[in-house]
Amino acid sequence: MSKYARILTEVPGPRSREFSRLREAAVPSSAATLHGIFVAEAEGALLRDVDGNQFIDFTSGIGVLNVGHRHPAVLNAVRRQLEQFTHTCFHVVAYESYLKLATEVNRRVPGDFPKKTFFANSGAEAIENAAKIARAYTGRAALVAFEHAFHGRTYMALSLTGKVAPYKAGLGPFVPEIYHVPYPYCYRWPGADTEDVCVEKAWNRFEEFFHLHVSPEEVAAIFFEPVLGEGGFVPMPAEFAKRLRHFCDEHGILLVADEIQSGWGRTGRWFATEHLGIVPDVTVSAKSLGGGFPLSAVTGRAEVMDAPQVGGIGGTYGGNAVSVAAALAAIEVLDSEGLVQRAEGLGEQIRGRFREMAERYPFVGDVRGLGAMNALELVTNRETKKPAPELVKSTLKVALQKGLLLLKAGTYGNVIRTLPALNIRKEVLDEGLDLLESAFEEVLQKVS
């Protein structure tokens, strides 16, 4: 019997279905929505829809709510800010809170060197700015990213993205001088039975790439996700990351970590690169930085960040005062509630349950993750590893009907990823995992 998930109607319920009809008429279908329900209110790790159904939220608005929905400290900070001013544009009249947050972010982002931070609104916008800053600093044009990467939907970020459907198909041409190298996706690397072999093979391809496609001396920056996000929650092996760092040092290339999904405590460290034992030159973060409000940051070596001409980076809303107030509060919550440390334990618990599920359900091909950023990769056959996106779709649908919100991921759409709030109560987490398992049980009945 579910205690936190409460389903009162068929899902989606009648009001959600009515809103869906309005949506169809007023909003382009290309701006997709994963679940057919409409939210009425949310708190912590729970979300209620317009039909009164209550769901356990394992999505956190795609990793935005590490502190949960409507954390009281975040709401209070926002309320206080609303009483003072909402907007001046930092480039017109500056405010102290921007400086406080920049200082705080500089302190948290890895790197024992002077840093500076610039704020924008979205992840993609921060990636755009990181690319401009890297080109300005190095005077080089080329940018390198990884296959399976997702860096956002604006043209520079999209050009850096290494996944065609649905992001790039039919939308070219893309920004020139962008190259993609293979990512060490060890579960799918042909002939790689161990991580060591996978790293060796992937590294050979990496080095070969620079003989075939672009000279390292023409490359301004290499962008990488320490854990692939949309690409299916694949952590980069530490040995590969170390070689990457060394390669960048050797050739004067800036190493840019996209920590938009993995940052701000999600993986059990403030930033996922801390697991890898390397320090990037530039770290891009967003999502949970703003505690539910739109905010992104580019943080890097001071001399790198100062490279573009005055006015070369900026934007009307970047570092908006309300978002900045929310971010300062969210970071304080991560600290005071010990949520970064908690993410580690949550992850162990989640992966423990996932491994049990892998024993029971033959379609679970791989279980992986870092801290509280975890995934199950579904396949039709464990030998061939043929992706099973239709099983992911069915699981998400059945889980929703039981009261659990899940996300998919993966280049082949065959990965289920979980991003619960880092302060989710243990009994809520357990119930959510029970619901996932019971969804798998139903899916298994259908396929066997």
Ligand X SMILES: Cc1ncc(COP(=O)(O)O)c(C=O)c1O
Binding site for ligand X (CB under 6 A): 62, 122-124, 127, 150-152, 225, 229-230, 258, 260-261, 286
57 - beta bridge partners? Answer: 405
**Pairing mode of beta strands 296-301, 364-370:** unpaired
Of 60 and 122, the one with the shorter C-beta distance to ligand X is: 122
Of 229 and 410, the one with the shorter C-beta distance to ligand X is: 229
Q: Does residue 173 have a cis peptide bond before it, meaning omega lies within 30 degrees of 0?
A: yes
Residue nearest to ligand X (CB): 123
Of 147 and 430, the one with the shorter C-beta distance to ligand X is: 147
Of 259 and 431, the one with the shorter C-beta distance to ligand X is: 259
User: What gap in Å lies between CA 416 and CA 412, rounded to an integer?
Assistant: 11
User: What gap in Å lies between CA 95 and CA 339, rounded to an integer?
Assistant: 29
- Amino acid letter for position 222: I
Q: How far is the CB of 154 from ligand X (least distance, A)?
A: 7
Q: How far is the CB of 62 from ligand X (least distance, A)?
A: 5
The two most distant CA atoms of the chain are separated, in Å, by: 64
Of 230 and 239, the one with the shorter C-beta distance to ligand X is: 230
User: What gap in Å lies between CA 402 and CA 331, rounded to an integer?
Assistant: 33
Whether 58 and 46 have beta carbons less than 8 Å apart is answered as no
Q: What is the side-by-side strand order in the sheet with 54-57?
A: 39-43, 46-49, 54-57, 404-405
Q: How far is the CB of 385 from ligand X (least distance, A)?
A: 24
Q: How far is the CB of 122 from ligand X (least distance, A)?
A: 4
257 - beta bridge partners? Answer: 224, 283
Q: What's 69's DSSP letter?
A: B
Whether 354 and 438 have beta carbons less than 8 Å apart is answered as no
In 224-338, where does DSSP find H-type helix?
238-251, 273-276, 302-305, 321-336
Of 284 and 304, the one with the shorter C-beta distance to ligand X is: 284
Q: How far is the CB of 190 from ligand X (least distance, A)?
A: 26
Whether 281 and 256 have beta carbons less than 8 Å apart is answered as yes
User: What gap in Å lies between CA 28 and CA 448, rounded to an integer?
Assistant: 38
Q: Is 27 exposed, middle or buried (0-12, 13-18, 19+ CB in 10 A)?
A: exposed
DSSP string, 215-249: -GGGEEEEEE-SB-TTTT--BPPHHHHHHHHHHHH
Q: How far is the CB of 32 from ligand X (least distance, A)?
A: 13
Of 298 and 435, the one with the shorter C-beta distance to ligand X is: 298
Q: How far is the CB of 299 from ligand X (least distance, A)?
A: 15
Q: How far is the CB of 206 from ligand X (least distance, A)?
A: 20
Of 4 and 146, the one with the shorter C-beta distance to ligand X is: 146
Of 60 and 394, the one with the shorter C-beta distance to ligand X is: 60
User: What gap in Å lies between CA 427 and CA 420, rounded to an integer?
Assistant: 13
